[in-house]
Chain A
């Protein structure tokens, strides 16, 4: 009972601070905009900590944040090895393969309006399918190491990037294309000088969707078979051993990796498509 009262008090306090900040004079400043979600997060973690320790919740159900943090700090070598195996070798390699393949297919398809018309709906349809389910097939083909994970990731990221690139390449106005014709510019010149730059905002949209998919693919594919390293492997074995603190530590790694990967692409987007109305 006391535990609930303390937790609720913490929650009310956090909310009260945030409400003051959100309705305060400088609520739109960068610092406050950043502080409010951080305070919210800290409040949730504090309530979680209080409830779990004071109510003696079994670590099998929900470990305390402090337990997760200490597990994280004590397992950095393991977590790092898992990170390299899953994120760098699996997700990143697959992401690059899928991206390059999507670009190549998009540029080839782009030469034919007929193909483009077919690829757009088929591609969007494929992008909505549970492609992660192909994991067992790829594990069987390419073995249990990172190559099979990269293959799953490549297929998963391929369709959203393809659809967005093809759509982006079509996104020039008749006037812009006529201008290139008045210069008697050939196909490749038009592609590189006009249509690719114009397509960049679309392409980045596809890339951002693909970052999350890449991580999901690499982690989930490890549930189907992996060497004794990797985030998916660690999650499924730790679940089996009821070592929930380790599972949570891996999830923290996944969250950090996911948001930094996404952030890196978003940053690159800001640099490259600074001219687009959505970025100005």
Chain B
């Protein structure tokens, strides 16, 4: 891996900026706390400090910098606080406990995966229909493309309530949001893929007098694989976002979204940040899993990844 060092450098820079930002972001809170503990702070009263900018306040009180990294309810938690919370909620608690991030991850993940499977399967089917039926192509394809320019995520709360009022609750409403978010990218990518074989390749099969299904299984479907995987990667991260947002407006009790909301409402920013990182890691693992399948499949088929 020749790019390992550049990647590491960029990541280190990001964490360095984060770490450096902790001091000014938390300095007002820290100064108030220090003031209550009779530690000398300049300026002395909270009101005077409100007048001073974060950076100049930080420069005037270098002695309390250490405290900015250990606040219980910081504006910006430090990287090690988030890491500690992640460690605590992942490794030190039983996975079935409500305090375990694994538990919440599973709640979100199960909805994500179920929705993704429904959405991707439906997307592939519709794509086949679009490629083989001219009416469908002309009527549905423009809508599939337009749908990508619309913030359909905004539908999420309504879907939850709509399904709730007809008695569908729990996993399924979130899965449906995940499904329709992954559906459209898969349709568009798969149509592109099924259409990727060029005239010469199709003509070759004509010279063999190949039947329609033969052309599909031997040329169009294999030819579409690079495009399919590219859109599946987009689809699965969209599914995860859909499941998380689906947890937000409904006061869900479990899942990454619920965890973020709890951290927000009960003034525990470290919880919110840990949930955010948990979600980010989950997204990364999901995309990595698809990439792995992609590499295996395409490798076996002797194909290259689509750009």
Contact = CB atoms under 8 A, between A and B. Distances in A.
CB atoms of A and B under 8 A apart anywhere in the complex? yes
Interface of A: 15, 18-19, 21-23, 27, 33, 36-37, 39-41, 58, 60-62, 114-119, 121-122, 125, 128-130, 132-134, 136-137, 139-141, 211-212, 215-216, 219-220, 223-224, 231-232, 235-236, 239, 242, 244, 247-248, 250-251, 254-255, 258-259, 261-263
Contacts of B204: none
Contacts of A115: 6, 9-10
Contacts of B157: 223, 235-236, 239, 247
B139 A22 contact: yes
A216 B154 contact: yes
B242 to A, nearest CB: 9
Nearest to A137: B272
Contacts of B244: 130, 132-133
19 contacts: A22-B135, A36-B138, A41-B143, A114-B6, A115-B9, A122-B14, A129-B283, A133-B260, A133-B279, A134-B276, A137-B272, A215-B154, A216-B154, A220-B248, A223-B245, A235-B154, A236-B157, A242-B161, A262-B149
A60 B155 CA distance: 14
Contacts of A239: 157-158, 160-161, 249
B154 A140 contact: no
Contacts of B166: 61
Contact of B256 (A21, A133, A263): A133
Interface string B67-89: 00000000100000000000000
Contacts of A212: 148-151
B237 interface: yes
Interface of B: 2-3, 5-11, 14, 75, 134-135, 137-143, 146, 148-151, 153-155, 157-158, 160-162, 165-166, 233, 237, 240-241, 244-245, 248-249, 256-257, 260-261, 263-264, 269, 272-273, 275-276, 279-280, 283-284, 287
**Which 4 pairs show the lowest CB-CB distances between chains A and B?**
A118-B6, A118-B10, A262-B149, A40-B139
Nearest to A255: B150
A31 to B, nearest CB: 12
Contacts of A130: 237, 240-241, 244, 279-280, 283
B2 to A, nearest CB: 8
A22 B134 contact: yes
A36 B141 CA distance: 10
A219 B148 contact: no
Nearest to A58: B165
Contact of B138 (A33, A224, A261): A33
B229 to A, nearest CB: 14
B269 A140 contact: yes
Nearest to B242: A130
A60 B248 CA distance: 20
A128 to B, nearest CB: 5
Given A114-B6, A118-B5, 4 more contacts: A61-B162, A118-B11, A129-B283, A133-B276
B75 A141 contact: yes
B113 to A, nearest CB: 15
A92 B279 CA distance: 27
A276 to B, nearest CB: 16
Contact of B153 (A125, A140, A219): A219
A132 B2 CA distance: 32
Contact of B162 (A37, A140, A216, A244): A244
A15 B154 CA distance: 30
A137 B134 CA distance: 48
Nearest to B257: A133
A39 B75 CA distance: 53
A241 to B, nearest CB: 10
Nearest to A218: B151
A199 B260 CA distance: 38
Contacts of B269: 137, 140
Contact of B158 (A37, A121, A235): A235
Contacts of B6: 114-119
A69 to B, nearest CB: 17
B248 A223 contact: yes
Contacts of B2: 117
Contacts of A129: 237, 279-280, 283-284
A242 B137 CA distance: 36
Contacts of B141: 37
A191 B166 CA distance: 59
B59 to A, nearest CB: 21
A128 B237 contact: yes
A60 B4 CA distance: 54
Nearest to A217: B151
Contacts of A224: 248, 261, 264
Nearest to A127: B237
Contact of A40 (B5, B134, B143): B143
A215 B151 contact: yes
Given A121-B3, A137-B273, A239-B249, A61 B165 contact: yes
Given A18-B135, A239-B158, A258 B284 contact: no
